[in-house]
Structure 1
Amino acid sequence: MVGNKRSGMLTVARHDGSTEVTVAVRGEIDLATAAQLRDAIVTAVADAEPDMSVVVDLAGLRFIDSAGISVLLRGRRSALAAGREFRVAGAEGLVLEVLQLTGIWPLLSGEAA
């Protein structure tokens, strides 16, 4: 584990592997915590080697609102602009349902619609 930050109801941990940088998220992403996730994704994209991907692991996430969705979409856009692959993994329960209902789960996860 490279870093671990906690703010309010959100914990973000970063793990650097040989082929990907993983940003693991636990807790809740809302307007109050979205900037913390944004900063973690921006740093992961900037630090990743050109042949590495950036993965945001949502397995520990209990809640996401529109601010969190916006951060994930912007993170994807910035990773792709930097030539990095980007995907979201591990979403389940309410978080997966929200991402599916908004129609962005296939885009973020790489899974077929």
Structure 2
Amino acid sequence: MEQEQETLQAIMGLIIHAGNAKSEAMEAIQAAKTGDFFLADSKVKLAEEALVEAHHAQTGLLTKEAQGETMQVTLLTVHSQDHLMTAIAFTDLTKEIIDLYKHVDNKK
């Protein structure tokens, strides 16, 4: 029972931190859109920090499995991994979008 609780906490950590990363990335795009590149860069940094936290949760799960602790794969588990991968892709695209806004701003 304790193992299941730890697994659930790791899965929820993945979802929460990945969601935070995506939210920060979205706010970064909105800041860049208004020309506030300092805020945009700060938000990207926060998104990246949230991704690191999500990776820590994921690493914990992977380490347990590598040590022989099997885990039942549930829809929640799959959802957490999907959330993480989406957040990573979104953060990567956010950096590109900010660069584009900066480029356009420099042309003005």
What TM-score do you get using the length of structure 1 for normalisation?
A: 0.29
Higher helix share: 2
Question: Which structure is larger by alpha-carbon Rg, 1 or 2?
Answer: 2
Higher relative contact order (CA 8 A, sep 6+): 2
Higher strand share: 1
